[in-house]
Amino acid sequence: MSRSMKMICPNGHLGFAPTREGSFALGVETNPDIIAADSGSDDVGPVPLGSDTSTSPLAWQTHDLELMLLASRARGVPMIIGSAGDTGSNSRVDLYVRIIRELAAKHRLKPFKVGWFHSEIDRDWLRAKMRRGDAVTGLDARPDLDDAELDATDRIVALAGVHPYIRLLDMGADVIIGGRSSDAALFAAPAIRAGYPEALSYYLGKVLECASFCAEPYGGKETVLGEITDTEVRVTAMHPDQRCTVASVAGHAMYERSNPFYEYVAGGCLDMSECRYEQIGPKTTRVTGPKFVPSDRIRVKLEGSGKIGERFVGLVGIRDPYTIANVDRVIGWAREKARERFGNADYELHYNVYVRDGIMGASDPDRDRPAHELCVMVQGIAPTAEMAEEVCMTGTRQMFYARLPDVKGTAGSVAFALDEVMRASPAYRWTLNHTVGIDDPLEVFPCRVEQVG
C-alpha cells in the first residue's frame, strides 16, 4: 500500500448555510490528515466585497468554525479555511482569526498556532504597475483595466494560489485563515507540500471544494472525504445516503465553470480533459489522469467592486389586464417624471417586472405572455440616501398616476401593499474581473503566524 493523505471538506461555502453535523462526525472518524473548507465566493454579488461586509450571519460562521476547530485540535491535524467571510477581504480574515481566538478561550484549548494571510490589493500599487506597462488584463471579454475603472473601484482582492498556504504550513500554523483564494488551492497546498503530484493535488482541491456537491443524490453541506496517493485521487461521500459516482464526480468538474476541462489557478492550469473516472466502491470514485500545465509567469486573478450609490427599493402590484399589457408605458411615465424632477443629475432607476421577465429580462422566451397579475420591483440609486429615496419614491409612486389612454380605472393605475420605499444595501458593481502578473507568488499575500492560548 503506497502512502496517502486524507482530507475532509464539510462545507462548500462555510458560513453561507450551516454545516450538517452528522456526516462531519463520520468524516472525522476516518482520521483525516487535513480538515479544510472554502468560505467565499463571488457568487454573492459585488455588495459584500464593496461594502466590506459578510453575507453570512456571524452565528453560522462561528458554528462551522467551532465544529472544525474542535475536531482539528482533538485530532492534532491542520484546519485550513480559504476566502474567509464570503469575500476574503482583510477585515473578514481578521474577523475569523478573532473568532478562532474566542473559541480557543471558550473551550480552553491547548496552545496552538494560528496563521493567516491578507489578499487585498492596494489601488496605488496596481496603478504603479499599470504605469510601468504591466497590463491588468480583462477576463471574459472585459477590456484591460484603465484609470477610470480603477478610480471607480472601492476594494480589490487577489485570488491566492497554493503559495501562502504552503508558507503558513512551513511556519508551523495549526489553523490557517486564508484571504481570497482559488478554491482548489487551499486543498492542493498541503498535498503539494507533502510531495504529491501537482496535477492530482489540484484535482483533489477541485473535487473537494464544494463538499457534497460532488455526490448524489443532491444535498449540500454534507462532508466528503478525498484521499490522494502518488497515482490517484479517491473521493467518498460521508453521508449514509450519498454516494460519489462516476457521474456525480465527473459532473462536478463542470459545476460553476465555463468549461469542464480546464481550471486556472495562480501558477498554471489544471487540465481535466483526459481524466478517467472509475467506481471502486459503493460510495467511492477513483480519478486518474489529470494534468497540470505550469504558467511561465504567475498571474493572479483580481476581483474588484465599486460603489454606484445609495439605494432604495419600492414594490408595485398591477392587476388590470390592460395596464399589464401596457406596463412598459406605465414605467415610461414614471421615468419621465423622474427626468422632469432630476434632469441629468447622477441617478439610476431600474425596474424588474416580475411574472413577466423580472428574472431573465429580454432573454425570456415567455415575456410576451405575462401572468394575470404583475409585481414590479423599483430600485432608485443616487449619491446620497436622501436623493435615492426621492428617486425611488418618484419611480414608484408615479406609476400610480400613469395616464393610459383607454384605462377604465381612473383612481390609480397600480396597487401598493406598502406605500413606502425601503432602504436597501448600497448598489455596487463588479469593476474588476482581471488578471495581473506578479514576480513573487507571496508578494501580495503577506503571511503571519501567532500563538493562541
Partner 1 sequence: MTKLSDIAKTIRSKNAGTDKITFDVIFPDAAAYERVKGSGVMTRESMAALYRIDPARITDFVAFDPALAIKFTVLRERPSGSPGDGDIFGAQQYAPLLELDVP
Q: Is 204 or 253 the residue whose CB approaches partner 1 more closely?
A: 253
- Which cell is 179 given? 484571504
Q: Is 96 or 202 the residue whose CB approaches partner 1 more closely?
A: 202
Residue with cell 485563515: 177
Q: Is 168 or 353 the residue whose CB approaches partner 1 more closely?
A: 353
Edge-first strand order for the sheet with 262-265 is 262-265, 268-271, 291-294
First to last CA, the chain: 39
Residues near partner 1 (CB under 8 A): 42-47, 139-142, 246-247, 250-251, 253-261, 275, 277, 303, 308, 311, 348, 350-352, 358-366, 379, 381, 427-430, 433
Do residues 234 and 286 lie in contact, with contact meaning Cβ atoms separated by under 8 Å? yes
Do residues 52 and 89 lie in contact, with contact meaning Cβ atoms separated by under 8 Å? yes
Angle at which helix 327-342 crosses helix 385-397, to 10 degrees, equals: 140
Q: Please state the closest distance from residue 41 (CB atom) to partner 1, in A.
A: 9
Q: Is 21 or 348 the residue whose CB approaches partner 1 more closely?
A: 348
Q: Please state the closest distance from residue 323 (CB atom) to partner 1, in A.
A: 21
Q: Please state the closest distance from residue 446 (CB atom) to partner 1, in A.
A: 25
Do residues 241 and 217 lie in contact, with contact meaning Cβ atoms separated by under 8 Å? yes
Q: Is 167 or 286 the residue whose CB approaches partner 1 more closely?
A: 286
DSSP letter string, 269-284: EEE-TT-EEEEEETTE
Q: How many residues does the chain have?
A: 453
DSSP letter string, 191-217: HHHTT--HHHHHHHHHHHTTGGGGSBS
Q: Please state the closest distance from residue 395 (CB atom) to partner 1, in A.
A: 12
CB count within 10 Å of CB 33 equals 17
Q: Is 57 or 321 the residue whose CB approaches partner 1 more closely?
A: 57
Q: Please state the closest distance from residue 26 (CB atom) to partner 1, in A.
A: 26
Q: Is 39 or 62 the residue whose CB approaches partner 1 more closely?
A: 39
What is the SS3 assignment for 411?
coil
Q: Please state the closest distance from residue 161 (CB atom) to partner 1, in A.
A: 17
Q: Please state the closest distance from residue 348 (CB atom) to partner 1, in A.
A: 6
CB count within 10 Å of CB 123 equals 15
Q: Is 173 or 391 the residue whose CB approaches partner 1 more closely?
A: 391
Q: Please state the closest distance from residue 255 (CB atom) to partner 1, in A.
A: 7
DSSP letter string, 212-274: GGGSBS--SS--EEEEE-SS-EEEEE-STT-B--HHHHHHHTTTT-S-SSEEEETTEEEE-TT
